[in-house]
Amino acid sequence: MSFDLVLRNARIVDRDDPLDIGIADGCIAALAPNLPGGGEEEDLAGRLTISGFVETHIHLDKSCLLDRCPCRSGTLREAVASVAEAKRGFTVEDVTARATRTLERAIVQGTTRMRTHVEVDPRVGLTSFEALTALKRDYRWAVDLTLCVFPQEGLTNNPGCEDLLAAALNAGADAIGGAPYIDPDPAGQLARIFALARAFDVDIDLHLDFDLDPAGSDMVEVCRLTDAYGWGGRVAIGHVTKLSALPPGELEVAARRLADAGIALTVLPATDLYLGGRDRDHLVPRGVAPAHRLAGHGIACSIATNNVLNPFTPFGDASLLRMANLYANVAQLGSDTDMRLCFDMVTAAAARLLRLDGYGIAVGRPADLVVLDCESPEDAVREIAQPLLGLKAGRRSFVRPSPSLLPPL
């Protein structure tokens, strides 16, 4: 067999010894030690090679807004209000420029699949959706981008918003989301979101229960609607910081209900830490949903970025390994098993949440690969290992040389 490219001495998750990856026609054609040569070769020297990181929840359209949305109180209310006002000035060119900056950062951080939430409402119309639809097409050489449209400032209180969401779905949006805690009628918003999902046969990804009061959860209604619509396996919820306020017994009940309904969960540690607990002046709670405990119930859980350089999260470099490391710190996880779980929540488990076909390294699958400067998933999370090389369909999408020390002669 001849190959276009052979990656030699690659270390793969759950394989003890390095092997070679033979790539032909954009796909993985062989996995074995000492594959025959003949084409281009690259020695990875035992570095960990994965199918890329999977970003399940990011907001490309409102990234890089700190120049026009300063952070003062650092509250969720302030962030929503300041971005809502800034959206009135969004143009396709503006959204494209800011989203491109963040998307390219994500690519060189090793992300090969991404779901971005896109705000659609009477303030911004379809401007952001139009910009990101073009980016989805223009950057498919490096990343598979899917668009989840949603109303950030409410649906039932925004005349014309539902028609705009339907227009975006009709134009090819991949999923629909919502933020019922912002809406004056949370149950009404959820009912409309599920109805739209069924009408257009798309998945649902909701911002949910974003506070630290264990009472008044919308999760019960989401579970009920998921069962009623038969949408199990097609619903994800993000933030859900109320779960961090539940005692163990109540958390177990909530976890079983989510698992029974087939609902996935994304934890967003950077944003949740930054915005949460603003009413406290000491012993400030972490307020991050315990995804590692929920994963133990068979729930598909992911760790994601959410926002980059805006009032919701005024920092970030789109590194999912940095998010995994941050989550491990917040959740006080330290064992090898814990590190593997955190790594899984930005790779394979995140791919399950997005219902991705063809993720993972196996013969016949697309040669979408990322090489990390480490030997194991545990090292990757602990050290925030740098991605050194990316391939999409067997073609190099980025390269980052490994650093070298220059001692004096």
pLDDT tens over the chain, length 409 residues: 799 999 999 999 999 899 999 999 999 999 999 999 878 999 999 999 999 999 999 999 999 999 999 888 999 999 999 999 999 999 999 999 999 999 999 999 999 999 999 999 999 999 999 999 999 999 999 999 999 999 999 999 999 999 999 999 999 999 999 999 999 999 999 999 999 999 999 999 999 999 999 999 999 999 999 999 999 999 999 999 999 999 999 999 999 999 999 999 999 999 999 999 999 999 999 999 999 999 999 999 999 999 999 999 999 999 999 999 999 999 999 999 999 999 999 999 999 999 999 899 999 999 999 999 999 999 999 999 999 999 999 999 999 988 899 999 8
Q: Which residue(s) pair with 146 in the sheet?
A: 115
Quickly list DSSP for 263-307.
EEEEE-HHHHHHHTTTT-SSS-------HHHHHTTT--EEE--B-
Q: Under DSSP, is residue 325 helix (H, G, I), strand (E, B) or coil? A: helix
pLDDT at site 151: 97
pLDDT at site 38: 78
Q: Which residue(s) pair with 265 in the sheet?
A: 237, 301
Question: What one-letter code names the amino acid at 315?
Answer: F
Residues of the chain with CATH 2.30.40.10: 5-51+360-399
Unique residue bearing structure tokens 């950057």: 139
Instruction: Provide the 8-state DSSP code for 78.
Output: H
Cα–Cα–Cα angle for 188, 193, 194, rounded to 5 degrees = 100
pLDDT at site 71: 84
d(CA 251, CA 273): 20
Domain 5-51+360-399 has CATH 2.30.40.10: yes
Nearest to 120 by CA among 157, 155, 96: 155
Instruction: Provide the 8-state DSSP code for 408.
Output: -
> Which pairs from 28-31 meet CB under 8 Å and 24+ separation?
28/361, 28/362, 28/363, 28/364, 28/365, 28/366, 28/367, 29/1, 29/3, 29/363, 30/1, 30/3, 30/363, 31/361, 31/362, 31/363
| Residue 2 burial (CB count, 10 A) | 11
d(CA 281, CA 65): 28
Residues of the chain with CATH 3.20.20.140: 53-353
> Residue 53 CA to chain centroid, in angstroms?
9
For domain 53-353, which CATH number applies: 3.30.420.280, 3.20.20.140, 3.90.850.10, 3.90.1150.10?
3.20.20.140
Instruction: Measure Cα distances from 387 to 187, 214, 321, 402 in Å.
Output: 43, 39, 10, 9
d(CA 133, CA 212): 35
